[in-house]
Structures are given as structure tokens and as C-alpha cells.
Amino acid sequence: MQPTKPWTLLILAAICALIAWIVVRLSFPSLPPLPWTAVPALLLLAIGEFMTGRNVSARLDRKPGAKPIQPTAVPRLVALAKASSAAGACFGGLAVGFAIYTLPSLSKPVPRHDALAATFTTVAAIALVAAALYLERCCRASEPPDDDDGDDVPFADGHHWPHGNGQHGRRS
């Protein structure tokens, strides 16, 4: 699985912004006021994914006191991070499209409310995308240390047999 590319998210956000701007331009008078409920939801998701990323990073790096992580958990977290970054880009793009339409009318109360809600939604969506990209990065396994001393002879299954130190068993 390839890492998420920021350009892909920017293109997704731009397409959503254009669609939102067109829809709002055609139907703004009939739309209800933009709700604020997306802001706390996106921020809570961002905080959760950031904290999960810190936890996963510590567990994958085998920091002292960190429990081992289940092998199936990492791909699931990567899938969550990829989905969250795409969803955050879509929400952010929709909010930007809405804000672009309403910013010229800030002197009127309804467009001002909608512009503020769209701006804060955009900021929360950016926070979610950043946290999701951080979580995805934390799910990468660190590179194993290089053993250039040549003491170990690898088996076909990836285990090593210690050479010359008197131990007779597998290291995992």
C-alpha cells in the first residue's frame, strides 16, 4: 500500500470546493444555515487519530512500557488514516467552496454566520487531514538495524542462527 500523497488530497479538496461553490451559488437562498456540528466532530476525530498515532509509534518502536501491537491492527489503522484523510479533504473542500461563496456577503447576518461556520469547519478538516497523515506515518515500521558483522546466518524463514557464541536456538 502506497502512502497517501498530499497532491491527491488537494485535488480531492479542490473538486469538492468547486462542486460546493456551484451548488451553493445555485441554491443559497433555499439552504438552511450551515451547522457548527462538523467542527467538534472533526476536531475530536483529529485528536483521537493523533493520540492513536503516538501510541502506535511507541508500540512499534518497542519503547519501554509499551505493549506489543497486534499484527492486524496496523493495516486497519492505515486504512482508517487513509479514509480519514480523504474524508477530511472532502469536508474541507466543501467548506472552502461554501466560504468562497459567502465571503463577499459578510455584511449580511446569514452569510456571515455561514462564512464563519465554513471557515472553522475548514480549519477542523485540515486538522483531521494532518492527524490522519501523522497516524499513517506512525504506522510505518522502523528500519531494522544493520548487522554488518556477519555473525548471523539467516534461515529461509527469516530467523537467524547465532554463529560461534555457543547458543543453539532460534532468535526471533
Q: How far is CA 161 from CA 61, 80, 147, 152, in A?
A: 24, 38, 13, 6
Q: Judge residue 129's burial from the number of C-beta atoms within 10 Å of its C-beta, 0-12 exposed, 13-18 middle, 19 or more buried.
A: buried
Phi, psi angle pair for 152, to nearest 5° = -100, 140
Query: Which residues sit opposite 171 in a β-bridge?
Result: 160
Q: Residues 124, 126, 130, 132: is their CA dihedral positive or negative?
A: positive
Would you say the C-alpha torsion 21, 23, 24, 25 has a positive or negative sign?
A: positive
Give me the tens of pLDDT residue by residue for the chain, a chain 172 residues long: 788 999 999 999 999 999 999 999 999 989 998 999 999 999 999 999 999 999 998 888 888 887 888 888 999 999 999 999 999 999 999 999 999 999 988 888 888 999 999 999 999 999 999 999 999 999 887 666 565 555 554 544 455 545 444 444 444 4
CB atoms within 10 A of CB 126: 19
Instruction: Provide the pLDDT for residue 56.
Output: 92
Query: Which cell goes with 23?
Result: 451548488
pTM, two decimals, is 0.79
**Domain residue ranges in the chain:** 6-142
What is the pLDDT, as a whole number, of residue 25? 94
Res 169: pLDDT:
45
Are 26 and 107 in contact by the 8 Å Cβ rule? The answer is no
pLDDT value of residue 170? 41
